[in-house]
Amino acid sequence: MRHLTQEAPLRALFPAVEPEEAPEAAIVNTGGGVVGGDRYRLDIDVEADAALTITTPAAEKIYRSSGEDAEIVAHLRCGEGARLEWLPQETILFDGARLRRRIEIDLSPNARFLGVETILFGRRASGEWLNHGALRDAWMLRIDGKPAWADAIGLAGDIGARRAERFGLGEAAGYATIVVAGPHASALLPRARDLAQGAATLVNGVLLLRFLDSDAARLRGAVIDTLAALRPEATGGRGVAPRLWLN
């Protein structure tokens, strides 16, 4: 590692990994959660031919806001021939939470990237639902400086009513997005469609998978199984989810 600057409440810890594994950085929020008005930013550069896995030791909790948005911005850069895995655990939105999140990914032409994000609408097992609040969740992925894929979801106000609309999220406990970019992404499409029950596609050579489930544990299980199946070919990672996911 050439350079590390960090400021509370975010810290990067580096758990031990097997000799053949990429180094792993676990991003820890020592504040215990995110509230309205918080501003978080991560800038991560993986140089040419280097490799890194980024994960978290637990789900990130976005608590009720008194009015202000919380903001999370992650800017990920990957040099020529580099490998980057962005594998945080779930983000849980409590009722009344307000979150604006942006993930920007800049890849060199032969870099390999595997990313996942899971949003949970409260904790259904505890009887907690996200009924009011706001979510703006946006991705931008560029390859060689050119936009290859962009995506955003926006929910605001009476989210319970929005969820019940004809093309809403219904009884879903949450959703997950998996993104694969790199030389081997297109070859993974048939397997991805089996894993995501058809909800996988290619956009400008970027492989996208989406998961939606009424049960948070089942959603998490589907993501873990998919990561285990895709990691070896997508990035050369081990055929399991990160260890911190399984502890």
Beta strand spans in the chain (E) = 10-13, 24-29, 39-46, 51-55, 60-62, 70-78, 83-87, 91-93, 98-107, 112-120, 132-143, 146-158, 174-181, 200-203, 206-213
Q: Is the pLDDT of residue 127 over 80?
A: no
CA dist., res. 218 & res. 6, Å (int): 35
Percent of the chain with pLDDT over 90: 82
pLDDT band at 164 (very low <50, low <70, confident <90, very high): confident
User: 149 with 206: CB under 8 angstroms?
Assistant: yes
Q: Is the pLDDT of residue 41 over 90?
A: yes
Task: Using DSSP, state whether 204 is helix, strand or coil.
Answer: coil
- Residue 63: is its pLDDT beyond 90? yes
- Inter-CA distances, 25 with 4, 70, 131, 141, Å: 11, 23, 34, 21
Residue 130 and residue 64: Cα distance in Å, rounded?
10
Q: Categorize the per-residue pLDDT at 20 as very low, low, confident or very high, splitting at 50, 70 and 90.
A: confident
Contact 122, 169 (CB under 8 A): no
Q: How confident is the model at residue 129 (pLDDT cuts 50, 70, 90)?
A: confident
